[in-house]
């Protein structure tokens, strides 16, 4: 049974087995959560991403997929990178957003992790409407069979926290 918890805070400070990064296909860094994770985690994470690009992920990580690296100097043991879809008003890409959470939990299970911290994937630079992003995130994690005991959503601001709380309680 997975317990879903909500925290108002910074994902880079979470003491968990794995933190999920809202990355882009290049895996070579960016802003938002991605920038914070690389900044706080140090160069080992980028080195591991470069190694993936040089070997198994020459074309980058596809949208909706997940891959793990070291967490470098973060308090977590692993970073699980996912690539969320960019919001589109004309195309339904919600299956790709669901896939991020499903694939992150699959990788978490492969690693044997019991606690995983998630950001609100796609709800920042990628423009996904917050209430919908929260609903998809919570519903998908609750519906995905996994050995992960705690799925912790880490929300950076009041608005996101409120959206996730509403998704969890209604």
**The binder of ligand AR6 chosen from 2, 16, 20, 34 (CB under 6 A):** 34
Closest CB 32 distance from ligand AR6, rounded Å: 2
Count of residues in contact with ligand AR6, rule CB under 6 A: 24
Please say which residue, 30 or 60, places its beta carbon nearer to ligand AR6.
Answer: 30
Give residues 116-135 in contact with ligand AR6 (rule: CB under 6 A): 119-126
Cα of 144 vs its chain's centroid, Å: 15
Please say which residue, 105 or 133, places its beta carbon nearer to ligand AR6.
Answer: 133
23 part of the interface to ligand AR6, by CB under 6 A: yes
Given the residues 17, 34, 59, 109, the one annotated as active site: 34
Is 34 marked active-site? yes
72 part of the interface to ligand AR6, by CB under 6 A: no
Please say which residue, 1 or 65, places its beta carbon nearer to ligand AR6.
Answer: 65
The 3-class SS string of the chain reads CCEEEEEECCHHHCCCCEEEEEECCCCCCCCHHHHHHHHHHCHHHHHHHHHHHHCCCCCCCCCCCEEEEECCCCCCCEEEEEECCCCCCCCCCHHHHHHHHHHHHHHHHHHCCCEEEECCCCCCCCCCCHHHHHHHHHHHHHHCCCCCCEEEEEECCHHHHHHHHHHHHC
Residues forming contacts to ligand AR6 in the complex (CB under 6 A) are 10-12, 22-24, 30-34, 36, 84, 119-126, 154, 156, 160
């Amino acid at each position: 049974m997975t317990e879903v918890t909500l925290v108002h805070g910074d994902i880079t400070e979470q003491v968990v087995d794995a933190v999920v990064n809202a990355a882009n296909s290049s895996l070579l860094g960016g802003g938002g959560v991605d920038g914070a994770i690389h900044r706080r985690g140090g160069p080992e994470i980028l080195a591991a991403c470069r190694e993936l690009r040089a070997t198994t992920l020459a074309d980058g990580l596809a949208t909706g997929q997940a891959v793990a690296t070291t967490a470098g100097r973060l308090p977590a043991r692993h970073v699980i990178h996912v690539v969320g879809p960019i919001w589109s008003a004309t195309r339904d890409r919600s299956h790709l957003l669901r896939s991020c959470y499903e694939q992150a939990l699959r990788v978490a299970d492969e690693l044997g992790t019991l606690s995983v911290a998630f950001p609100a994937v796609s709800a920042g630079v990628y423009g996904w409407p917050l209430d919908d992003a929260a609903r998809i995130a919570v519903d998908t994690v609750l519906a995905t069979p996994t050995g992960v005991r705690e799925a912790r959503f880490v929300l950076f601001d009041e608005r996101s926290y409120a959206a996730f709380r509403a998704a969890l309680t209604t």
